[in-house]
């Protein structure tokens, strides 16, 4: 898959964000300011303030002289990072990999995402219009590398979508600042007459390294795609989290169980008030030596029963290695689901799969043998028997189709296996068949049941199925592919009856 990246540049990040929260500021020239060396300097200016003569880096006293109605707001350190994180979390709906690019941008790995919006042009338009509707002045670009997308979004006046493998000619006409270099390197490049990146592309790498250092080569290679640039993606916060710090390190299993029970009490109380049930819980144990050990549980259906969840965690306590001791427990619930309020009844009623006791039993079994060992199957709308079942996503999922009325074997082979068959008459059921070098003599047979092929998915002949019983009392499900008078008709074993 061709890697593609998007860079988003917020031209007035802090002032746009502040205006978005305080609507009365949108019609006023305002700036953010912070003290620097006995002066109050503008750290960010709104577009209206820049139009009237107040710019970033200017002293507030000079800006007030130029713009008498200027509104000055104290700049809080770290505000840009907080705002970019919130914007990045909102962009996760467009790409699972979103990274913050301080001080005023985001980088997205959009490989395999753009087709959901009709292509890269529709994808870029959707994001840009969404952010502009929220009050932000943004520019964005798409390229093969994060560096090229970053450069085009800030310095290029061409199409914001760089064709695949087309970043080199576009970068050649951009200034050296498009390579995200330090101020000292940029000043040196300017003194030596480098007005664009083009001359650097023609120079030998050893010469560039000797004169400007390795950082320039790294940035150049990243922008051209010669070396990969790894993005550090944002991780969405887990909404249901409980923490338990310990005054003394915990090293024993009983103490660990007490800590887990306290965390479950707090978490389940919150889940009950919101009428939700836990489907997956992750316990993170931070040890004194700086390492972290984890234990996880899953449930078949949502549960906020402390006793039930505690029994599941007790099966995992032996896997937790406390070493010198655990000083912090964190319990996360990354997966929860809504729970229906069930009216209590005065008499016992068989609730089937809705029975909570059944779900709790399956959870305890899964805790011992693994959740992957338990499967529930539902009918699927397919003719071929091997495609006629699917794994249920949950215990309460309803079937979308009815089970076939005909008898089916308890064990079905994933891929039918070829057998050798002898029949008294070509159109009759088999009299004998050989499977894995063993010959089976048939004493009873039932069939045929004809199943047509799924011509819209693959090619092949119809199948005539027979239920057979051999002289040893074993029962098999076999079929003939194609009509008996066809020269390529073959026999296959597909399943075993109980």
Whether the predicted pLDDT of 313 surpasses 60: yes
Give the separation between CA 372 and CA 493, rounded to whole angstroms. Answer: 27
Sign of CA dihedral 484, 489, 490, 496: negative
Quick one: pLDDT at residue 341? 59
Quick one: pLDDT at residue 386? 78
Give the separation between CA 316 and CA 297, rounded to whole angstroms. Answer: 8
Quick one: pLDDT at residue 221? 92
Quick one: pLDDT at residue 486? 55
Tell me the average pLDDT of the chain.
86
For residue 13, give Cα distances in angstroms to 31, 74, 138. Answer: 12, 15, 9
CATH topology of domain 241-342+349-363: Dna Ligase; domain 1 (3.30.1490)
pLDDT tens for 66-102 read 888 888 888 888 888 999 999 999 999 999 999 999 9
Give the separation between CA 450 and CA 454, rounded to whole angstroms. Answer: 13
Q: What 3-state class would DSSP assign to 114?
A: helix
Quick one: pLDDT at residue 355? 65
Phi, psi of 12 (to 5 degrees): -130, 65
The model's confidence at residue 134, banded by pLDDT at 50, 70 and 90, is confident
pLDDT tens for 255-307 read 999 999 999 999 999 998 888 999 899 999 999 998 999 999 988 888 888 98
Whether the predicted pLDDT of 239 surpasses 90: no
The model's confidence at residue 140, banded by pLDDT at 50, 70 and 90, is very high
Query: What residues are paired with 72 via a beta bridge?
Result: 31
Report which DSSP code applies to 376: -
Quick one: pLDDT at residue 441? 93
Give the separation between CA 455 and CA 383, rounded to whole angstroms. Answer: 10
C-alpha distance across the termini of the chain, in Å? 47
Phi, psi of 144 (to 5 degrees): -75, -20
Quick one: pLDDT at residue 488? 66
Domain boundary assignment for the chain: 5-150, 241-342+349-363, 411-496
Per-range mean pLDDT, top range of 128-132, 393-397, 423-427, 484-488: 128-132
Return the structure tokens found at 64.
């007030």
pLDDT tens for 165-202 read 999 999 999 999 999 998 888 999 888 888 999 999 88
Segment 333-344 mean pLDDT: 75
Give the separation between CA 340 and CA 194, rounded to whole angstroms. Answer: 68
CATH topology of domain 5-150: MutS, DNA mismatch repair protein, domain I (3.40.1170)
H/E segment holding residue 155 = helix 146-155
Give the separation between CA 25 and CA 23, rounded to whole angstroms. Answer: 5
The model's confidence at residue 152, banded by pLDDT at 50, 70 and 90, is very high
Give the separation between CA 117 and CA 122, rounded to whole angstroms. Answer: 6
């Amino acid at each position: 898959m061709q890697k593609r990246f998007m860079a988003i540049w917020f031209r007035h990040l802090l002032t746009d964000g502040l205006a978005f929260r305080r609507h009365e500021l949108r019609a006023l020239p305002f700036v953010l300011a912070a003290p620097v060396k006995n002066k109050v300097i503008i750290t960010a200016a709104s577009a209206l303030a820049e139009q009237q003569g107040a710019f970033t880096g200017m002293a507030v006293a000079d800006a007030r002289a130029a713009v008498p109605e200027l509104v000055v707001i104290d700049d809080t350190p770290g505000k840009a990072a907080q705002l970019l994180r919130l914007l990045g979390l909102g962009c996760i709906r467009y790409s699972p990999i979103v990274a913050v690019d301080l001080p005023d941008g985001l980088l997205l790995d959009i490989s395999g995402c753009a087709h959901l919006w009709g292509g890269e042009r529709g994808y870029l338009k959707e994001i840009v219009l969404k952010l502009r509707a929220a009050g932000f002045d943004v520019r964005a670009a798409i390229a093969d590398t994060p560096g090229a997308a970053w450069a085009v979004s800030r310095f290029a006046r061409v199409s914001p979508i760089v064709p695949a493998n087309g970043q080199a000619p576009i970068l050649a006409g951009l200034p050296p600042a498009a390579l995200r270099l330090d101020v000292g390197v940029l000043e040196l490049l300017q003194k030596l007459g480098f007005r664009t990146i083009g001359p650097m592309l023609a120079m030998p790498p050893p010469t560039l390294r000797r004169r400007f250092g390795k950082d320039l080569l790294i940035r150049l290679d990243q922008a051209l795609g010669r070396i990969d640039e790894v993005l550090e993606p944002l991780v969405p916060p887990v909404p249901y989290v409980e923490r338990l710090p310990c005054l003394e390190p915990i090293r024993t299993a009983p103490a660990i169980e007490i800590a887990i029970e306290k965390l479950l009490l707090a978490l389940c109380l919150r889940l009950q008030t919101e009428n939700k049930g836990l489907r997956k819980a992750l316990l993170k144990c931070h040890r004194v030596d700086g390492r972290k050990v984890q234990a996880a549980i899953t449930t078949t259906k949502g549960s906020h029963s402390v006793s039930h969840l505690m029994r599941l965690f007790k099966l995992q306590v032996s896997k937790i290695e406390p070493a010198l001791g655990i000083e912090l427990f964190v319990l996360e619930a990354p997966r929860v689901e809504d729970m229906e309020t069930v009216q209590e009844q005065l008499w016992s009623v068989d609730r089937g799969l809705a029975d909570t006791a059944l779900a709790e039993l399956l959870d305890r079994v899964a805790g011992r043998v693994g959740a992957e060992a338990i499967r529930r199957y539902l009918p699927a709308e397919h003719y071929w028997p091997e495609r006629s079942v699917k794994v249920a996503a949950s215990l309460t999922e309803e079937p979308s189709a009815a089970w076939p009325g005909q008898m089916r074997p308890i064990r079905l082979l994933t891929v039918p296996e070829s057998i050798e068959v002898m029949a008294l008459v070509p159109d009759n059921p088999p009299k004998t068949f050989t499977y894995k070098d063993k010959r089976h003599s048939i004493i009873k047979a039932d069939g045929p049941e004809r199943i047509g092929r799924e011509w819209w998915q693959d090619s092949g002949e119809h199948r005539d199925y027979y239920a057979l019983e051999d002289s040893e009392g074993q029962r098999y499900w076999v079929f003939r592919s194609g009509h008996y008078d066809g020269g390529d008709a073959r026999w296959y074993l597909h399943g075993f009856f109980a």
